[in-house]
Each structure stands twice: as structure tokens, then as C-alpha cells.
A and B are shown apart, each in its own frame.
Chain A
Amino acid sequence: NAGVTQTPKFQVLKTGQSMTLQCAQDMNHEYMSWYRQDPGMGLRLIHYSVGAGITDQGEVPNGYNVSRSTTEDFPLRLLSAAPSQTSVYFCASSPGFSYEQYFGPGTRLTVT
């Protein structure tokens, strides 16, 4: 199993550009989520999904969209990038609520 994979590893955007961060898992996990990590802030939940077709907002959802058309994939879309979205983004999955989450290697995004 590849586990949780994320692409790209690094990305530089200009303010106003849009892009999609890809996340895929091959463990047949129902629960998937997106976090951002910023210095001194820990990891903050952006959006999460409890199964295909079901998504909900986390702590910091503004400026981001998600969809879950398959169990395996959970892409994160930045609609109009802003410098405040410069961060490291992690995708995670788990079999269910009370299980530990498995994290991908992260995407480092810089918005200039």
C-alpha cells in the first residue's frame, strides 16, 4: 500500500491564481481530512469528509473548496490564492472517527 499520497510536494503561486492540491489513499478509508500547519499554530483542520459525497467545514475553511466523488480521492481547491494561504498542507485518512489518522507527506505552498 502507498498509504496517503499528496501532489505536488512544492508549489509557488501568485496572488489570485487558483490550483488544486491532490490527495489519494489506497486503504479504503471512509474518513479524509485536510490540515494546514503554520508556525506556532499546530495543525488546523480545513475541511473533512466522512465518505464519498459528504464533506464539511473544519476550523479554517475560508478560501478553500473540497469535493469527494470517490472513496480514494479528496482534492483541495484554492479558488484565489492569497499570501495568508502560504503554509504546509497535510491530507489525512482514517477508517473511522475513533481511529488514528494517517497523514500524507505534505505540500509546501508559497503564495507571493
Chain B
Amino acid sequence: GAGVSQSPSNKVTEKGKDVELRCDPISGHTALYWYRQSLGQGLEFLIYFQGNSAPDKSGLPSDRFSAERTGGSVSTLTIQRTQQEDSAVYLCASSPSGMDNEQFFGPGTRLTVL
């Protein structure tokens, strides 16, 4: 079956612009995670959605970052007023129930802020 998909695969933007990154989880998976991978910081947790529960936003680095998940499926990560330090690969993962150990990752969106 289809895995986690993310779009766009690459995004180049200018400093100060807003960007939206999209994640389509595996159908039926109730848990969805966003991570960021950069050279200096490795792979870091950003935010976690589980069903209808309030999301765990503890990893968001600033209030410029926000995410939503509509209808328990597709998620959008929004970065406002992008900065050069936001340049990274943004990875989305999903798991069947949120009580599983395996998270299935998408290919990521490579964001470059000029």
C-alpha cells in the first residue's frame, strides 16, 4: 500500500516568507508526527497528533511554527516569516494507533531559506 507522502519534496523560499508543508499519512493511522532534520541538530521532534486529543507541541522551536491536522488525516506544518536557520529537511511520520513503537516516515520536504 501507499506509504507516507509529503509535498513539496523541495521548497526554496526567501527569508521572511511563509511556507506550508503537507503530509499525507498512511490511511487509517491515527498518530502523526513532525520532525526536523538539520546538519547541526540531527533529527528533532516538533509536534505529535493522536486522534482527537490535543497535540503535543512541545518540540516547536518558536511561535512561528504551527501545525494542524484536518479530519484526522492530512497535516500541514506552517512556518511564518521564515529564517535561514529554518533550512532543514522536515519529516512526517505516522503510526497505526499512537501506542505502536514503529513510526513510518515519509521522504521529507527539503526547505531552503535564502
Partners in one complex: no
